[in-house]
Structure 1
Amino acid sequence: MFLALPFFSSCDDNTSIGLALEDGSVKVLYTDTATVGVSTVYLDSVMTSGTGTMLFGSYPDAMTGEVTANSYFYIDFSAIGFTDASATYDSAELILPYSGYSYGDTTASMTLQLQLLEEILEAKALPPYIGTEAPNSYFYASSGLYNASSFKTESQPLATYTFSPRPVGRDSIAIPLPAALGQQLTELKKNGSSLLNTPNYAPLLNGFRISGMGQKVILGGTASGVKIRLYYSSTSATTTAAIHDFPLITGSTQFNEIKGNFSQTAFQELKRGKSISSSLTNDISFTQSGTGIMVKLDFPNLASLKDEMKLNLINKAVLEIVPVTNTNRYPTLPPETIVLYQSSKTNVPAGQLLKDFSGSEYQSAIYAPDMEYDMMSKYQFQITDYLTQLLSGNIENNGLLLAAAPESFISTVNRLCVGGPAHASNKVRLRIFYTKSF
């Protein structure tokens, strides 16, 4: 679509940001016919350690596949405090405070499993990108654990617990622990952490995994509040009830393993480190936090558009992201905020895209829902500077990657579905307002 706005006289100042103005009369025009290529990119891995958020459960999504989250963590059993030779065991439980985050159907019951690890939970260092000293992704770090990381668990769960999720209405989940573990913790309380060096206690130092079974929801927990609580009685003088908390160790050894299963969807050919065009996935692409999936946006015909339209100055360029209708309602709410990432030639996020003519602020767009008809729900970016630099040949045309803001991209699992260039009604649009001389 093209729209002509009133004529203007040109001025002698050619220092305006954009392509060079020529002498003569000019007209301000508008087009939204520039093709935006859309594909789905599955990043090799995304660091999820040290976020302070625990994710556990699974959600089966008919359009984009099932997403599963398992949380791994250490408990600090050396935090004994003082010994108490008279302590007798009463009970023990794992306490998981809700973070308030959930994704999926919270009305169904949920079953959690707590398992001991058979190998030590430790951070890993990824090799730097070939030829440099820096990692080759915005979501890598020199040492950490990733959504694709996993550790072998004991075959039998330490505890299994079924409950009704209340992520807003309750403070925490309390999982009863077996008496055998409680007795071990009581012995630690009585005799000190030297017992951790003995064979029967050593597995406690490997770490734990919390996971869901056959779920319809993923819940979030606050890592800093997680603890194993020992209830015991002290009979040194009179019998009194007491508690001792063994806290979670926060940092790089607390992470979430997050996996997507696309086998029953249009995205069944999607593999880690690869991309797939929306033309092969029913003209739809998606980004999902946690799993490391982003939408790739390409601008393949900008050079020919510049020649055909003979534009001299880009006044404004607006990138409009419209969720595919009926994919953005409860229980699959889209991210509240999305951002644009600069892409390498191999579809790896190199960093966030800066706002127009800014040296420090990043591009971001807040979701504006159409609560009545869901026809006008959208996100909008102004990318005038980026487009001008592309047309001027100052930067490479590697396209952009679209996903949630970094802090959400590594600690939630919300997804956003967008239409490709052939989608009937919800395709990504690039609206360009430009000046043309005559």
Structure 2
Amino acid sequence: MRKFLYVFLVCFVGLYACVDDNLSLGKSLVDSSFYNVYADTCTVDISTVLLDSIETRGDSICQFGHYKDTLWGEVFATYYAEYTKASFTPNADHAYSLDSLVLRLIPSGHFWGDTLASQRISVYRLKYPIVLDDDSDLYNTTRLQLSDSPLFTFTYTPYPGRKKEVEVRLPDEMGQTLLDDLVAQADYFDTQDGFKKEFPGLALVAESDGSCITGFMVNDTAMSINLHYHEISNTQTEQTLTFAVNMDYAYTGIRYDRSGTPLDGLTSGIENLVHSGDLGCRAYIQGLTGFYNQLEFPFLNNLENAGQIVSVEEATLYLYPLARSYNVVSQLPDELRIYITDANNALEDYVYGSDGVTVQTGNLTVDEVYGKETYYSFDLTEFIRNNFGTSGVKRQKLLMSMTDEASATTFSQVVFTNDPLQERQCRLDVRFKTYNEQ
């Protein structure tokens, strides 16, 4: 509470130093004045909240790897995927020869960690076919059983922003068995259920000494298993059979350990939110791990003390990332969303732009040179007008998160700084008009 009171005092020191020349109206009738007033440091109470799980089934971007730091802790990302059967009709007059069986990877451009270090990934066979949870979905918290030892292990080096294809060769024995069964027209190729019982799928698991988590595309050709072979008759013809990910049964799973970090002990549920004042004047938001924010303005009604009548003309929210907490090993989300909730945290609507139709996305401004003037901003004029003078169950709140897609497919993140003693902090700038009778 001391922090909020300090900021409020600063607010009103600036408030009365920023008053326009008074505009006297109707002096012959009523001795009165109007003032345009500006307060640039109104307190923002920003809290960190943790979701219990995130739906990641069927996403077009997957993540796998391992990363550990002092802010977020240790995180493992694993991709689990069932594959679709492929159609193949052998020619009895032809012979078939294996060339290779490869896993085709296309980076999405997303990363978290040291992109200069090589990463080792082990590929395991799933013990059983993937089964949807009770509510017919798959989440970042869903766990599956894997084979006792990996089919193979590969090494790759992430390249930020680079989407060059990577081909990882699977064991030839696996490829030869697959080709032989196709030529023999094994029964398990007749249906998808039969195919996944024979081949439940793969899991891509990072080794614990890895230092980066990387995003990869998932579609009909990306993350696919490709069987390259020759069809031999009078001539040899190169052929490829593609086994695509069955996206209805594929997802990114997350394991984490936050011991020794500022987030250690944080439990899921909005009732367990933690105010920035209890997190070293910081607030956290991150995709895939489920962190998001709640925002309130506890001293908004104190602006009523500025005059007999006070009307809000404009209100802008500024949110500053912690300096040097991004770009080197992590990525800021391009967009953020703010939702309006009632006093019981039930969602009511988005925060729209001035046209009343376009959903605001945070208007990210990046200071490429010094990094000091990097911030997100939202026009909260209507929200502040609607809540100015309200309290209790009538006072609305705000929830802030990344887009649904980014939350479920990336580790993009922001550590917001909210220290009232620092120059750049989360703040609400309010321009308002006051009326006073002389």
1:5 matches 2:20: yes
TM-score (norm 1): 0.84
Alignment root-mean-square deviation, CA: 2.9
Which residue type is aligned with residue 256 of structure 1?
T
Higher-Rg structure is 2
Show the counterpart of 2:39.
Answer: 31
- Match of residue 52 from structure 2: 44
Matched residue pairs, number?
Answer: 409
Deviation at 1:426, TM superposition (A): 3.8
Matched to 1:330, the amino acid is V
Cα distance change of structure 1 residues 364 and 158 upon mapping to structure 2, 3 Å threshold: same
Code of the aligned partner of 1:302: L
Structure 2 counterpart SS, 1:70 = strand
Map of 1:368 onto structure 2: 365
Q: What TM-score comes out, normalization by structure 2 length?
A: 0.84
Deviation at 1:236, TM superposition (A): 3.8
Give CA deviations for 1:276-327 in whole Å, capped at 9, x if unaligned: 2222222211101121101221222223443565552100001000111221
User: Does the 8 A contact of 1:299 with 1:397 survive in 2?
Assistant: no
Query: How far apart in 2 are the matches of 1:122 and 1:8?
Result: 71
Partner of 2:89: 82
Q: Distance in 2 between matches of 1:124 and 1:200?
A: 21
How far off is 1:221 after superposition?
A: 1.3
1:303 maps to which residue? 301
Instruction: Select which of 393, 405, 408 maps to 2:406.
Output: 408
Q: 1:171 and 1:374, CA in 2 relative to 1: closer, same or farther beyond 3 A?
A: closer
Query: 1:380 aligns to what?
Result: 377
Say which structure is richer in helix.
2
CA distance 1:388–1:377, change in 2 (3 Å) = same
1:132: which partner in 2? none
Aligned to 1:107: 116
CA 319–201 in structure 1, closer or farther in 2 if over 3 Å, else same: closer
Asked whether the equivalents of residues 301 and 389 of structure 2 are also in contact (C-alpha less than 8 Å), the reply is no
CA-CA distance at 1:369 after TM superposition: 1.8
In 1, are the aligned partners of 2:43 and 2:298 still within 8 Å (CA)? Answer: yes
1:85-113 superposed Cα distances (whole Å, 9 cap, x missing partner): 53233321111122232232221101112
Q: In structure 1, the residue corresponding to 2:229 is in which secondary structure?
A: strand
Q: 1:383 to 1:311 in 2, by over 3 A?
A: farther
What does 1:318-329 correspond to in 2, within 5 Å?
Answer: 318-329=316-327
When residues 159 and 109 of structure 1 are mapped into structure 2, their CA distance, relative to the original with a 3 A threshold, is same
Distance 1:200 1:361, change over 3 A: closer
1:187 corresponds to 2:197: no
Identical aligned pairs, as a percentage? 24
Tell me the distance in 1 between the aligned counterparts of 2:185 and 2:371: 61
Superposition deviation, residue 151 in structure 1: 1.8
SS of 1:6's equivalent in the other structure is coil
Deviations 1:215-272 (A, max 9, x none): 222212111122111122333444444322212223x322212344321211111122
**Cα gap change, 1:153/1:317 in structure 2, threshold over 3 Å: closer, same or farther?**
same
> Per the alignment, in what secondary structure is the counterpart of residue 410 of structure 1?
helix
For structure 1, the 5+ residue unaligned runs are 12-21, 127-142
Q: Secondary structure at the match of 1:366?
A: coil
Aligned mates of 1:433, 1:193 — CA distance in 2: 74
The equivalent residue for 2:201 is: 207
Cα distance in 2 between the residues matched to 1:69 and 1:343:
32
